Copies of this chain bind each other. A is one copy, B any other.
């Protein structure tokens, strides 16, 4: 697991062995079973998670109890209710396992210590935050400009493995279409 985290960070900033030992001391490794929750709506958000293996869904339950998929997170991906994490407020979303999942957990306090203790890591998180911001802007753009068919095709092109790993009903929720529409798109 450690090698995967190191490789992930070193795509952006190279680290010496001593630096990686320092970095690693801020993380905790954890394993979760399918259907377990990492974040529950209304509770504190202690950690941001780096996914080593497995698959998570970030969901928002509206006032009528309907579940909406905000995002999926798989290997090499960071996930949290970032608003609650960075502002240290209660979760407005839930994070749950769609598969057995291994993660590295980083508490907000350790995140801050890591940034102030090693400038390279502040640079690393800046690059990740920019990536997240760009990704979100692209998704907004697809909501504004693309129809359901185009959103389906964009997702299939970017993350083909999701179509094998995620139940159709969840994919439909992520795309903001009905399950019937998704089935029709999948056949065309």
Chain A interface (Cβ < 8 Å from any Cβ of B): 60, 62, 68-70, 82-83, 86, 115, 119, 122-123, 125-126, 129-130, 132-134, 136-141, 143-145, 176
Contacts and interface: CB of A to CB of B under 8 A. Distances in A.
Contact of A140 (B119, B126, B130, B140): B140
- Sorted from nearest, which 6 A-B pairs have the closest CB atoms? A136-B136, A129-B129, A132-B133, A133-B133, A126-B126, A143-B143
A144 B133 CA distance: 18
Given A119-B119, A137-B82, A60 B129 contact: no
22 contacts: A60-B144, A60-B145, A62-B145, A70-B140, A70-B141, A82-B130, A82-B137, A83-B138, A86-B134, A115-B126, A122-B122, A122-B123, A125-B126, A126-B126, A129-B130, A132-B133, A133-B133, A133-B136, A136-B137, A136-B140, A139-B140, A143-B143
A122 B130 CA distance: 12
Nearest to A63: B145
A141 B60 contact: yes
B137 A83 contact: yes
Given A129-B133, A132-B133, 9 more contacts: A60-B145, A70-B137, A70-B141, A82-B137, A86-B134, A115-B126, A125-B126, A136-B139, A136-B140
Nearest to A68: B144
Contacts of A125: 126
Contacts of A134: 82-83, 86
Contacts of A86: 130, 134
A179 to B, nearest CB: 15
Contacts of A143: 140, 143, 176
A88 B69 CA distance: 31
